[in-house]
Chain A
């Protein structure tokens, strides 16, 4: 997919971006995603099951994520779980969003809203 087409999906909602970032590190199941997002944000972002699966449904439909069929050893697993991973498309969308945010932040820095490198 061309960059332009990827950009059409931006900006992403924070919750969607969190889910994509989470899966960028590797495949995960639903509860894993919730836990990780919570841990990474020090509990500031708590996804509810409803929100998470609404997002998962749409990400699957749009082909940004897919089911990962390899499962861990049975002791660690629950048969009800499904594991998800990013598709290349999902990865490029997430990357584009990250880039967009970075540009935004550097702009904010130039406007003296954040401590910029020149002040460091």
Chain B
């Protein structure tokens, strides 16, 4: 009985018609229902279920096919109307598009940074299963230690949760090729166990990667080079394979070229060779050389691998109590290990993304306010259209299209700006920080920008559109031509928006205050040495040419002597490592004659190997005893210096001079006698707590890699050419790396804080500016629409200052509510910055009292102008206006 089903089908058909735009439905909806009714009846008469089904199918497809076209028609109509309207208010359009573009650009740039550093998958096969393993030392409080070779072997043999474990480290090589006329260069290369390439799963662009067994001495003279090295040094020669490349003067055969996308373990590494271990690497209780990468076996995750490693390390600690007591293992996702400062970088990026999001919200709030003001000016037009039969949805859609047009224009401009900004960022962020691809606007960022634009248009367009169409038609039409009075709802909404944006601006201002103070405190830190007029550069002697400690010391002594003789140079020395260069060496030690400390209470110090005059060149004050002299060489008794912190920590009473200590890593050698105490100075980075330091004479050890320090009389960078010349005289093709003034080193060490500080300060500044403009807009609008009332007040005897106080008071109330809310919000959101702060308390008075005061002052100024205008209102004119 088809007729009994009849009433249901049209109701579903009616619902289906809702896919069409309103106007189309209004014009043809009933008619289409009628046609469908007839068709439905005919189908039921003709062939029952099959025909009915065919009808439904054809009808649904037809509607789905034609509805988009109808929507497109409406959109085109609305868009051309919107463009006409916007064309009439060019000022609004320009301000809106420009501020939106800036907001969208900032957010998109930070998204691109986030994308390149934290989002894009690493350029290896199944990168989500790759992990990095650190050795930990609970006694030393160290979580990121390299792994000793015996421990690595045990992990590899005993672990089931990891289907492969590869080890690597990196160091720099003097690279030259026999047929090459270019200057030899110092290049960072990775040494890796042969299984590491297959483990990472990236194939070569040319040739092959290592085979098992190629780590053995005699077979390890092979090298795989990066695409960059192949391009820059060999002009992409297709016959590159089997050619010779000299690493530290040792001939190696090029067996493969990796594709440009292969970056491991960071961007500066341009070649890879099989890892050959030295005899002392086999000792379990020495600091290990290895960085370890593993791949999770199927069915295992980070937690289960960690649990298994914990078990293995527990077993090893029982087996080798001497070396493995309190040692552990830590498994982290590979990206966290490859990206230096991962935690800090992530916190900063999140903070900046959040802050840029807030800024865009502020932009939207401002635009929302502008739209509200425009809508109330257009209330007559809207009322007229409503009276002529346009329904509310239709008008909302029309107004939203206008917002969307603005947002799309802002989005396009913003994306172009973001592409430019991303490029700048790519150059500004040091290349060693692990990123996948370039920082730039890719498809994902484009989609992001598009979504953000659409969302923004809804944010600033929807509420005003709804508000505007709530207008009751008759009074709006009755009002005079100068209508423009807000409804009460509109007023409320405008105030709400201003309060909201002021609150957000407060949050951003608090964030930038915290970061600025951190940065300021960091740059005020007493480094303990004099960074001005100090030049540094890095050298590494190839062990083929300088195999013995004596030859190395001879070279460096001669270098320091010659540099000292240069004009404009007061003193010179060599050190290793360089302070504040994110590099440090540490070791445990025992004091001769003292019982060895318990495992929980170990003695640790940072080590520096220095030449004579290094303490003087750095201008670290000598507190007791003497500094190192040229007599402290291989033949003389072994000596060392310690710093004040060492003294405070390990030798609190009496003079340490004459005391002898033994470093764990050289327990076979004679003890070191402490001959002097020097002032404290920073070791690794500016934010660290002062560490205990032991200075060892380079003349009594073998250090091929050193930093030359030259104390200059004038501009340190000016001596660079003469330093190069002196080095060339001593060794014509010894590469010189990283010539920098110590000031540059110091500012690079501030790098991790730089991005967050600069970014948040800019965003904070922008936010305050926008909030002030927003409040100015609302207050002047209120003054404008209350001219009549103000005129009456003045006519009734209110003084000018009273009127000013009235306007200022109302504006400032909004501002203060916003600031109050903002402070509360900032207390919550600033938690995100906590890990980045230095020298500033989280509940910092400057941030949470000073910044609100500053903002209040700015907002007061923003209210001042409209308040003055209100105060000079001529009552007669104001009253005549009505």
Docked-complex contact B58 and A46, CB < 8 angstroms: yes
| A49 and B65 in contact, given A56-B28, A57-B27, A57-B28 (Cβ under 8 angstroms) | no
Cβ-neighbour of A49 out of B24, B39, B69 (below 8 A): B39
**A52–B34 CA distance with the chains assembled, in angstroms:** 13
Docked-complex contact B70 and A81, CB < 8 angstroms: no
| A51 and B39 in contact, given A81-B31, A82-B31 (Cβ under 8 angstroms) | no
Q: Mark B10-32, 1 if CB is under 8 A from A, else 0.
A: 00000000000000100110111
Is residue B879 within 8 Å, beta carbon to beta carbon, of the partner chain? no
Most chain A beta-carbon contacts within 10 A, residue among B31, B35, B63, B64: B35
> Hey, which chain B residues are within 8 Å of A82, CB to CB?
31
**A79–B33 CA distance with the chains assembled, in angstroms:** 12
**A30–B59 CA distance with the chains assembled, in angstroms:** 14
Docked-complex contact B62 and A51, CB < 8 angstroms: yes
Please name the residue on chain B nearest to A56 by beta carbon.
B28
| A34 and B35 in contact, given A48-B62, A51-B65 (Cβ under 8 angstroms) | yes
> Hey, which chain B residues are within 8 Å of A52, CB to CB?
35
Docked-complex contact A50 and B59, CB < 8 angstroms: yes
| A54 and B70 in contact, given A48-B62, A49-B59 (Cβ under 8 angstroms) | yes
Docked-complex contact A50 and B66, CB < 8 angstroms: yes
Docked-complex contact A80 and B59, CB < 8 angstroms: no
Main secondary structure, interface of B, reads helix
Min CB distance A31 to B, Å, is 4
Min CB distance B35 to A, Å, is 4
Q: Mark B34-78, 1 if CB is under 8 A from A, else 0.
A: 111011000000000000000000110111111101100000000
**A34–B36 CA distance with the chains assembled, in angstroms:** 11
Docked-complex contact A53 and B34, CB < 8 angstroms: no
Please name the residue on chain B nearest to A53 by beta carbon.
B28
Tally of contacts, chain A with chain B, CB under 8 A: 60
**A105–B234 CA distance with the chains assembled, in angstroms:** 67
Main secondary structure, interface of A, reads helix
Cβ-neighbour of B24 out of A29, A34, A57, A80 (below 8 A): A57
> Hey, which chain B residues are within 8 Å of A54, CB to CB?
66, 69-70
Interface residues of B, count at CB 8 A: 23
> Hey, which chain A residues are within 8 Å of B31, CB to CB?
29-30, 53, 80-82
Docked-complex contact B39 and A50, CB < 8 angstroms: no
| A49 and B32 in contact, given A31-B38, A34-B39, A54-B69 (Cβ under 8 angstroms) | yes
Min CB distance A65 to B, Å, is 13
**A78–B31 CA distance with the chains assembled, in angstroms:** 10
Min CB distance B785 to A, Å, is 42
Q: Mark A29-62, 1 if CB is under 8 A from B, else 0.
A: 1110010000000000010111111101100000
Docked-complex contact A53 and B32, CB < 8 angstroms: yes
Min CB distance A61 to B, Å, is 10
**A51–B62 CA distance with the chains assembled, in angstroms:** 6
Cβ-neighbour of B34 out of A50, A51, A81 (below 8 A): A81
Min CB distance A38 to B, Å, is 10
| A49 and B67 in contact, given A57-B27, A57-B28, A80-B30 (Cβ under 8 angstroms) | no
Docked-complex contact B34 and A31, CB < 8 angstroms: yes
Docked-complex contact A50 and B30, CB < 8 angstroms: no
> Hey, which chain B residues are within 8 Å of A30, CB to CB?
31-32, 34-35
| A78 and B65 in contact, given A48-B58, A54-B70, A57-B27 (Cβ under 8 angstroms) | no
**A31–B33 CA distance with the chains assembled, in angstroms:** 10
**A78–B65 CA distance with the chains assembled, in angstroms:** 28
Min CB distance A92 to B, Å, is 25
Docked-complex contact A51 and B35, CB < 8 angstroms: no
Within 8 A of A (CB), among B62-98: 62-67, 69-70
Docked-complex contact B36 and A50, CB < 8 angstroms: no
> Hey, which chain B residues are within 8 Å of A31, CB to CB?
34-35, 38-39
Q: Mark A18-37, 1 if CB is under 8 A from B, else 0.
A: 00000000000111001000
| A49 and B63 in contact, given A30-B34, A30-B35, A34-B35 (Cβ under 8 angstroms) | yes
> Hey, which chain B residues are within 8 Å of A49, CB to CB?
32, 35-36, 39, 59, 62-63
Docked-complex contact A50 and B35, CB < 8 angstroms: no
**A80–B29 CA distance with the chains assembled, in angstroms:** 10
**A48–B55 CA distance with the chains assembled, in angstroms:** 9
Most chain B beta-carbon contacts within 10 A, residue among A48, A54, A56, A57: A48
**A82–B65 CA distance with the chains assembled, in angstroms:** 23
Please name the residue on chain A nearest to B42 by beta carbon.
A35
Docked-complex contact B67 and A50, CB < 8 angstroms: yes
Please name the residue on chain B nearest to A80 by beta carbon.
B34
Please name the residue on chain A nearest to B13 by beta carbon.
A49
> Hey, which chain A residues are within 8 Å of B35, CB to CB?
29-31, 34, 49, 52
Min CB distance A37 to B, Å, is 13
Min CB distance A45 to B, Å, is 12
> Hey, which chain B residues are within 8 Å of A78, CB to CB?
34
The 10 closest A-B CB pairs, nearest first, are A48-B62, A50-B62, A80-B34, A50-B66, A50-B63, A54-B66, A31-B38, A30-B35, A31-B35, A53-B28
Q: What would be 12 A-B contacts, judged by CB atoms less than 8 Å apart? A: A30-B31, A30-B32, A30-B34, A46-B58, A50-B59, A50-B62, A56-B28, A57-B24, A57-B27, A80-B33, A80-B34, A81-B34
B-to-A contact residues, CB < 8 Å: 24, 27-28, 30-36, 38-39, 58-59, 61-67, 69-70
Beyond the given pairs A30-B32, A49-B63, A53-B31, 6 more chain A to chain B contacts, judged by CB atoms under 8 angstroms and listed by A's residue number, are: A30-B34, A50-B59, A50-B63, A53-B66, A54-B70, A82-B31
